[in-house]
A and B are shown apart, each in its own frame.
Chain A
Amino acid sequence: MWRGDGVIAFEAAAFRYGDHAVLRDVTLRLAPGSLHFLTGRSGAGKTTLLRLIYLALTPAAGSVAVMGAETATLNAAARAALRRRMGLVLQDCDLLEHLSIRDNIALPLRIAGRDPRARQGDIIELARWVGLDDRLVALPRELSSGERRRAAVARAVMTAPELVIADEPTGDVDEEAAGRILELFLELNRAGATVLVATHDLSLIRKAQGRAQARTLRLEGGAIIRAGAAL
């Protein structure tokens, strides 16, 4: 578990898509074991900021360090190793369509070189927690969008990652399922994981702030304009 100075550290980071500057001057530092919610209007750059963290992008200016490693300097092997320490829930879920939900949830174990058969109990328990224990043999195309999102959440936390990054994890899910997903994140956070959730769901943030010490980051004009506990 990373215990250095900031699991995520942005230093005057900027990113642009062509002529469109999405992030202009982002400086932030997330402490190990912290819980943060990232808010902002659509197009504010939340997803871009998350992509910089999970190494899908590198900053055009400034620097981004994740778990002590400056992302722009990493080679492919180091990027992969760093990603195995993260759990990602992305907007489009990215489930593998030819694998069952069970195999999708177990995929991080396979990639980490562990035998999923030895973790069947954990897989079933996790599926039960997100309400998919009766859909384990189904293929992703047989699931609703909300169920797909819950499967993606289960997959992201399967290996108990040190850093959880979630992009709108409760979109398309009902309130009860959203509560369970939040509970998963809080449990991981209590166990020491750093959790960063980008969301429009203000009720989710309020619930979290009622249960844990959660901070809110607001992206506006390409920069973090507020970082505080209160919403």
Chain B
Amino acid sequence: MSARRPGPVAPHGAAPHLVALVSAAMCFLAVCALEAANGAARVSGAWSGGMEGAATVRVPAPEGRSVAAPLAVAALATLSGAPGVADARLLDADETAALVAPWLGGAPDPATLPLPLMIDVTLADPPPAPGAVQARLDAAAPGALYDDHAAWRAPLEQAAAAFRRLAFWSVALMGLALAAMVAAAAHASLAGAAATVRTLRLIGAQDAYVARAFERPIALRALIGGAAGAPAAALALSMAPLDLGAGLGDAASWSPQIAPILAAPLACAALAWLTARLTILLMLRQAP
């Protein structure tokens, strides 16, 4: 078999090789950013999911009494008939103590620390409007407080959304940096091959033909660099102690996702190809 036919433009200068290096670095960082955002979303989702569909009602002990049974019974009765409430159950003393034990370092002594009564509410779909439930409780059991955990869920979801935005802008900036590098490389390559380009055009080469001669090697180098950088990021993340979802079950367990690892090198190659093509075509248009 004959050897591969050389292209019409000889590889020129170090700039295309730098594209591979920059692409590797950008893919590494992009995969880290995407996987971090993905991990944060999974942890946030697991936390929110655990709280979703449930609410609690806290019935404080009236002053001078250690229990609030009559109020709790009234609250239970109100909740049982409320729309959007599937079930309501009064926690016993041990269950209530277990809830606060992690914060106090052990079960509290009811004699010294009176605990409110807690009602565990299972919500239906759709859940009730918190204001409506609270209004019913105010009427039937003054002092009872309805908590649908929104105050806990919101910051988590906001944090996850912030991570996603951060990842998006990080990836966008990395893309911009890669595009700038590719544009510089294409510019240098074309300038270094000015005589060759002149000859090709005199023989009748269209600008697109000339651009292809430059864009292919650059895109290939971006792909090779990305193919090295993306798996390296996955490896580094796998080795890092990032068990953010510990104790939250499988829904929160984190491991590198394959999609960013596959997509990042292809995206880098596509971006490099497009940037090189546009740069070359623009330069050729400016130099008829």
A and B part of one assembly: yes
Interface of A toward B, CB cutoff 8 Å: 54, 56, 76-77, 79-86, 88, 90, 94-99, 103, 107-108, 110-112, 155
Cβ < 8 Å to A, chain B residues 187-220: 195-196, 198-207, 209
Residues of chain B with a CB closer than 8 A to A99's CB: 6, 8
Contact A97 B10, beta carbon cutoff 8 Å: yes
Residues of chain B with a CB closer than 8 A to A77's CB: 206-207
B205 to A, closest residue via Cβ: A111
Check: B5 CB closer than 8 A to any chain A CB: yes
Q: Which of A80, A84, A86, A103 contacts B6 (CB 8 A)?
A: A103
Check: B285 CB closer than 8 A to any chain A CB: yes
Check: B102 CB closer than 8 A to any chain A CB: no
Contact A94 B201, beta carbon cutoff 8 Å: no
Interface of B toward A, CB cutoff 8 Å: 5-6, 8, 10, 195-196, 198-207, 209, 284-285, 288
Contact B285 A83, beta carbon cutoff 8 Å: no
B196 to A, closest residue via Cβ: A96
Chain A: minimal CB distance from B145 (Å): 75
Residues of chain B with a CB closer than 8 A to A108's CB: 203-204
Besides A76-B207, A82-B204, A110-B8, 13 other A-B contacts (C-beta < 8 A): A76-B285, A76-B288, A77-B207, A80-B207, A83-B203, A84-B203, A96-B8, A97-B10, A99-B8, A103-B6, A111-B8, A111-B203, A155-B203
A158 to B, closest residue via Cβ: B203
| Known A94-B198, A96-B196: A83·B204 in contact at CB below 8 Å | yes
B10 to A, closest residue via Cβ: A98
Residues of chain B with a CB closer than 8 A to A83's CB: 201-204
| Known A76-B288, A111-B205: A94·B10 in contact at CB below 8 Å | no
Contact B288 A96, beta carbon cutoff 8 Å: no
Residues of chain B with a CB closer than 8 A to A155's CB: 203
Residues of chain A with a CB closer than 8 A to B207's CB: 76-77, 80
